[in-house]
Chain A
Amino acid sequence: MKIAIIQFGGTNCDLDVLHVLKEVMGLDAETVWYKQEDLSGFDGVVVPGGFSYGDYLRAGAIAARTPIMDSVKKLAAEGKPVMGICNGFQVLTEAGMLKGALTTNAYPKFRCHWASLRVETTDTPFTSKFGKREVIRLPIAHMEGNFYAEEETLAELDENERVVFRYVDENGKVTDDANPNGSIENIAGIVNEGRNVLGLMPHPERASETILGSDTGRKMFESMADYITENF
């Protein structure tokens, strides 16, 4: 099993993800510069966080239209898992691989702190190791994390349990106070129709070692690795 971590100009969480996958978990993973268009030989992809292309035009907009994203789409079409973290989530929505859009935080400030999240579904390749409605804590760090989608899209996401994470308070309740960025229905992460493409604003790679405060995020990468082992 080999996982690709895509690097664009301005990506800056690539080495954190590589460290977690390789050093912490002992998996085979490699960073892949966006000019390489061939992803054959990879069984999964992480689009990491950062500020690809300086967030020019719209966050993720330029990266979403680079040729490597066609390869990522091809890999996703084979059912292989693709995880977009933070700027990676923005890239996946801009590429049309996920529904909705990520806009400037309702209070236009860079929010960088721990957030409580509720795991809305365990029926994804990324959350099988969690409990349904389990409340977890992961760090967030973004200014364009305000998820927006039209009503029709929201209904579609709700109906098929495609909202994966919501911002909640410590008791697992969806409240306005627990919503750090104004995201509609407190949405922090969603999957595509095939459930194998996930985008989320929080950073699981920053919570994958107890020495750094938490290893909750590692369960996401473990879920992903299990899914690959079982299916590919």
Chain B
Amino acid sequence: MQYQATVTIEQKQGMLDPEGTTVKRALEHLGYATESVKTAKLFEILLEAESAGAAEQKVDEMCQKLIANPIVDNYTIEIEEK
């Protein structure tokens, strides 16, 4: 089966997000008040796996080994059958 995994990488709570802060400030210049703006990275990964669970396990491994840095990042994985 083919699955699409959507991986979202967010910085852990308390980490500085200079890009988010800069965008927040620019929004203020445009007249939009916001509580906070955070940036995140999104990866769409297409892969073959026997089941949704197996796909998630594979992608979780990928996150731990490369895609996320566990010191500074949190990540979530969503699996969708293609």
- The residues of A with any CB-CB pair to B shorter than 8 Å are 57-58, 61, 65, 94, 100-101, 103-108, 146, 148-150, 182
Q: B-side interface residues toward A, CB under 8 Å?
A: 15-16, 18-19, 22, 65-67, 69, 71-72
Question: A residues within 8 A CB of B72?
Answer: 101, 103, 148
B18 touches A148 (CB 8 A): no
Shortest C-beta distance, A143 to chain B (Å), equals 10
Q: Which residues of B contact A103 (CB under 8 A)?
A: 15-16, 72
Cβ A148 vs Cβ B66 within 8 A:
no
**Chain A residues positioned under 8 Å from B19 (CB to CB):** 104, 108
A94-B15 Cα distance, complex, nearest whole Å: 18
A108 touching B69, Cβ below 8 Å: no
Ordered by A's residue number, 25 sampled pairs between the chains whose C-beta atoms are within 8 Å are: A57-B66, A58-B69, A61-B66, A61-B69, A65-B66, A94-B69, A100-B71, A101-B69, A101-B71, A101-B72, A104-B16, A104-B18, A104-B19, A105-B18, A106-B16, A106-B18, A107-B18, A108-B18, A108-B19, A108-B22, A146-B16, A148-B71, A148-B72, A149-B71, A182-B16
Residues of B within 8 A of A57 (CB): 66-67
